[in-house]
Amino acid sequence: MKTLIRLIASCALSGVLLAGCVTDNGTSTASVNAVPGLGGSPIANGTAGASGTVPGSIPANASFVAPNGNDANPGTISQPYRTIQKCATTVASGSTCEVRAGTYYETVTPNSGVTITSYDGETVTVDGTDAVTGWTIHEGSIYKASIAMSAGDTNQVFVGNEMMTEARYPNGNDLFHVNWATAQAGTSSTRLVDSNLPNVNWTGAKVHLWSGTDPWTPETGAVTASQPGQVTISVDTSLCPSVCATAGGYYYIFGILAALDTEREWFYDPKVATLYFWAPGNVDPNTLPVRAKQRQYAFDLSGKSKVTIQNINLFASTINSNASSTSNTIDGIQAQYVSHFTALPGNRGASYWIDHLTDTGIVVNGRGNILQNSTIAYSAGNGVAVLGADNIVKNNLIHHIDYIGNYASGVALAGNGHTIQNNTIYDSGRSAIFPNAVPNEAIPPSNNNIGYNNLYNGMMLSRDGGEIYDAEDAVTGTRIHHNWIHDAQSLTSGSASDFPVAGVYLDSGASGFEVDQNVVWNTEHESIYLHGGGVSTPNNNHVHNNSVPDVNSGAYIWLFQIPNCGSTQVSDNLVLVPITQQSVKPPCTATSNGATAPGATEMNASVQVGCNFAGCSSDAPPAIVGNTVAASIAKQPGPLAVLVGQTATFRVTGAGSAPLAYQWKKNGIEVNGATSTTYTTPPATSADNGVVFTVQVRNAAGIALSAPATLSAE
């Protein structure tokens, strides 16, 4: 490690090409030396769907679909079908549906063996929404429209492609920087006390809690009575005090017209089939492209085999499959807002922390299916649900997922024999990857290959979890290897702030995993955590040849409450903070770990980590020089919205060896005297709306620039 002096921190964000940096547009300084134990470069060259349609190459057995077509047509290029469904259920196995540019509002259930692709690279979108029209004034700036939507909790309203907010208290639009209300003294498991609560009758509303002594999941309940400054709630209390309404805990209220009090908010009343909406800018929504989600699936491959879906965009809808789906290929899709729900559980009595693990995101079920070269963004639940056996999820970009914050994940991985490789997964409410036995507890997630993924900004809305997390499963042959795992940081401090927010977390006796050749940094608490949970079966985990370029006091490998090590070994890990064994008697084997240990010897700069198209790259691991770690950004400053006349305080969490120096910048220009971890602006003027702040963090070994944080001032 002593040869590593050049900086490799913050490549993607610095705006300055440093040695070892590869930018999103594919330019590279190409001066990366092998960096034992740290390296690996996200390679950015080209766009998703590189293996897709070759322009001008039309198979002889192709039929055509176009927005100006007609399903009574023969499906030729001059007389195309109108719907993808007509084509995909008319043509024989082995045929191709070439879809012309346009947006299609349907759920397609194709014949087996059919390929569905965009024609000649044209832009094709299958959209789960329908237009909402016929708005009349309800009251003030609130309009209403008659529409039949779901009576459940999956409704979603857009203006164009922009998601609106289901009316709530307190107001806030950001899915991850949630504007929580805080319960006050007097709160109990069945009563929320808050003197800030607006004095309206909340009876009949829903309440969403992130609260308790160990709030590893949120949960949703009902408001059954309302008084000034407090409400009575009906919610599952079986996990109290871990997950439970309590003073200091967080909550918001929604699902009631009384919460609709600002622009962008909507409320749907299924009893009268009416949608209420306060449009952005207080305008008449008849002048806007208001859309409501009406279909869960763009494609349903249940029971289908050998279907290929290629180079198609999805909006507000996803792709489903079931245990009988085999050998299907999903390639080069761009999917936004794949799944949405608001209540945990959706069905009262279900286990809310594992709700929607199998029915959200792109559902890859059955056997021998492939999802590749695709981008999947924005989901309340999973990015991808993998079930069944022997499926492949590779070279995908998955981000802004699990904004509900339960166990739904970037990739929720049930079953066995799957390969999850070269994916970039960032900005997740809890885990990036969750190998798990749900829903079939009899099938542990064995023989899964989780490698070469770039996983970061996980655990944003959770506690007591990790970027890769498993609980209780006894597996064989599952390997977690050659991944970058970094910046797992809860966005909101509060109860249980000192609980694990880890890189790899094998919980409650999870056993049989091999964890090797990973590079783990800037995780909030614990880098790799083996929690035996007092389970007496052998722990049998093998943690070796990982590198942890992190000097934070919490950046250790932790073995806790393991009464039976079995074959567990922790060896050859490059760590700067000593490994901790606690309530492990006798201690498990731990040899050759430290600043001179071999570490992730195979992670040199030629190793591709994450996916390989625009948007896949991230900050690279910070350099280690001797025992010094270069500066980096552990927690990025978030966007802030204030009223004109108010100040705004931006915050960053830097990492690396002390001392760290900070310099905030406004639109790229240094702000005089703004040199700490926080920066408070002067009172905002309307001219400050849209101003971008960044912060540079520096130490003797390196320099890092944060992602931009925008100030909104209205």
Q: How far apart (Å, rounded) are the C-alpha atoms in residues 84 and 72?
A: 13
The nearest distance, CB 173 to Ca ion, in angstroms, is 10
What's the first-to-final CA gap in the chain, in angstroms?
50
The token pair that represents 138 in the structure block: 């309800």
φ/ψ of 312, rounded to 5, equals: -120, 140
Contacts to Ca ion from residues 505-524, by CB under 5 A: none
What H or E segment, with its residue span, contains residue 317? Answer: none
| 237 CB burial (10 A radius; 0-12, 13-18, 19+) | middle
**173 or 334: whose CB is closer to Ca ion?**
173
Compute the chain's Rg from CA coordinates: 26
**260 or 701: whose CB is closer to Ca ion?**
260
| 223 CB burial (10 A radius; 0-12, 13-18, 19+) | buried
The token pair that represents 147 in the structure block: 């529409």
Contacts to Ca ion from residues 148-187, by CB under 5 A: 167, 171
Contact (CB, 8 A) for 507 and 534: no
φ/ψ of 39, rounded to 5, equals: -70, -155
**261 or 390: whose CB is closer to Ca ion?**
261
The token pair that represents 172 in the structure block: 């806030």
The nearest distance, CB 265 to Ca ion, in angstroms, is 5
In the Cβ-directed half-sphere of 102, how many Cα atoms lie within 13 Å?
16
3 state SS of 89: helix
**279 or 633: whose CB is closer to Ca ion?**
279
Question: Can you tell me which of 88, 108, 205, 259 binds Ca ion, judged by CB under 5 A?
Answer: 259
The nearest distance, CB 211 to Ca ion, in angstroms, is 20
- Choices 258-266, 418-426, 514-522, 638-646; region in contact with Ca ion by CB under 5 A: 258-266
**71 or 261: whose CB is closer to Ca ion?**
261
Angle at 472 between CA 467 and CA 476, to 5 degrees: 85
The token pair that represents 512 in the structure block: 């049989």
**45 or 171: whose CB is closer to Ca ion?**
171
**226 or 423: whose CB is closer to Ca ion?**
226
The nearest distance, CB 156 to Ca ion, in angstroms, is 17
- Choices 60-68, 224-232, 256-264, 465-473; region in contact with Ca ion by CB under 5 A: 256-264
**87 or 231: whose CB is closer to Ca ion?**
231
The nearest distance, CB 460 to Ca ion, in angstroms, is 22
Contacts to Ca ion from residues 441-500, by CB under 5 A: none
> E strands, 140-201, where?
142-146, 157-159, 162-163, 165-166, 168-169, 181-182, 191-193
The token pair that represents 385 in the structure block: 């649900």
Close Cβ partners of 88 (under 8 Å, ≥ 6 residues apart) = 97, 108, 109, 110, 111, 114, 116
The nearest distance, CB 226 to Ca ion, in angstroms, is 16
Measured between alpha carbons, how far is residue 66 from residues 107, 156, 214, 301, 309 in Å? Answer: 16, 27, 53, 22, 17
The nearest distance, CB 78 to Ca ion, in angstroms, is 52
- Choices 255-263, 340-348, 403-411, 528-536; region in contact with Ca ion by CB under 5 A: 255-263
The token pair that represents 407 in the structure block: 């166990």
The nearest distance, CB 257 to Ca ion, in angstroms, is 10
**172 or 533: whose CB is closer to Ca ion?**
172
The nearest distance, CB 172 to Ca ion, in angstroms, is 9
- Choices 184-192, 259-267, 442-450, 664-672; region in contact with Ca ion by CB under 5 A: 259-267
**274 or 305: whose CB is closer to Ca ion?**
274
**261 or 472: whose CB is closer to Ca ion?**
261
Rounded to the nearest 5 percent, the helix, strand and coil shares of the chain are 5, 35, 60
Total of residues contacting Ca ion (CB under 5 A): 4
3 state SS of 577: coil
The nearest distance, CB 536 to Ca ion, in angstroms, is 51
What H or E segment, with its residue span, contains residue 232? Answer: strand 230-234
3 state SS of 13: helix
Q: How far apart (Å, rounded) are the C-alpha atoms in residues 153 and 459?
A: 24
The nearest distance, CB 286 to Ca ion, in angstroms, is 22
The nearest distance, CB 260 to Ca ion, in angstroms, is 6
Contacts to Ca ion from residues 525-584, by CB under 5 A: none
- Choices 137-145, 260-268, 352-360, 581-589; region in contact with Ca ion by CB under 5 A: 260-268
Give the torsion sign (CA, 683, 687, 689, 693): negative
The nearest distance, CB 165 to Ca ion, in angstroms, is 8
The nearest distance, CB 169 to Ca ion, in angstroms, is 5
Q: How far apart (Å, rounded) are the C-alpha atoms in residues 313 and 301?
A: 16
Q: How far apart (Å, rounded) are the C-alpha atoms in residues 548 and 518?
A: 8
The nearest distance, CB 212 to Ca ion, in angstroms, is 25
Q: How far apart (Å, rounded) are the C-alpha atoms in residues 313 and 293?
A: 16
Question: Can you tell me which of 24, 174, 261, 390 binds Ca ion, judged by CB under 5 A?
Answer: 261
**171 or 190: whose CB is closer to Ca ion?**
171
Contact (CB, 8 A) for 699 and 630: yes
**202 or 456: whose CB is closer to Ca ion?**
202
The nearest distance, CB 209 to Ca ion, in angstroms, is 18
φ/ψ of 160, rounded to 5, equals: 60, -125
Q: How far apart (Å, rounded) are the C-alpha atoms in residues 323 and 694?
A: 47
If one counts every other C-beta atom within 10 angstroms of the C-beta of residue 587, the result is 14
**255 or 465: whose CB is closer to Ca ion?**
255
**130 or 261: whose CB is closer to Ca ion?**
261
**167 or 629: whose CB is closer to Ca ion?**
167
Q: How far apart (Å, rounded) are the C-alpha atoms in residues 446 and 429?
A: 25
Contact (CB, 8 A) for 62 and 27: no
Which residues would be at the binding site for Ca ion (CB under 5 A)? 167, 171, 259, 261
